[in-house]
Amino acid sequence: MRWHFVFIILYLSTFVVGWLRTMHVLFYRAHPILGISSVVIPFVVYLFSKNKKLIRQLIKSNFKLNGRPKIILAKISTLVIIFYYLFSIATGFMLNNGLYGTAEVYQVSSAVHGASKVIVPVAVGTHVFARLSLKRKRI
């Protein structure tokens, strides 16, 4: 599925570039661009997809937590990825454009945005492990 691959590649590249953001000005400037493109490009891929109904069903199925434990684990990790992704995009936009208002809001926004150093590797690793172990059992 192209849209899934596009989302994961952009999500992980945004994470890596954000992690390296303080090392070089190229990373500093690329991080917000990758963050915005990780929203826009999967949406464009979805718009031009021939099977929109399948994509919608796959996204909706993540909200129904039933099945075997590994399936539930994969769905929960997917939900963590999606919801943290939305929070990270919102807080990153706030921080980048100075929309935080007070020092407390800045600290909370920067803590949420900076939590990616823990949340992204754990959620993506759990998701990949659960999905690969499910595929291994099918063979």
- Its pTM stands at 0.75
CA geometry: angle 127, 128, 132, nearest 5 deg: 120
Amino acid sitting at position 6: V
Q: For tokens 């690969």, what's the residue?
A: 132
Span 104-120, pLDDT tens digits: 999 999 998 888 888 88
48, 5 contact by CB (below 8 A): no
Q: Using alpha carbons, select from 112, 120, 78, 117 the residue that is nearest to residue 92.
A: 112
Span 56-87, pLDDT tens digits: 887 888 888 888 888 888 888 888 888 888 88
Q: pLDDT grade, residue 134 (50/70/90)?
A: confident
Question: How far is it, in rounded angstroms, from Cα 2 to Cα 69?
Answer: 27
Question: Is the pLDDT confidence value at 139 over 60?
Answer: no
Span 25-61, pLDDT tens digits: 999 899 888 888 888 887 888 888 888 888 788 788 8
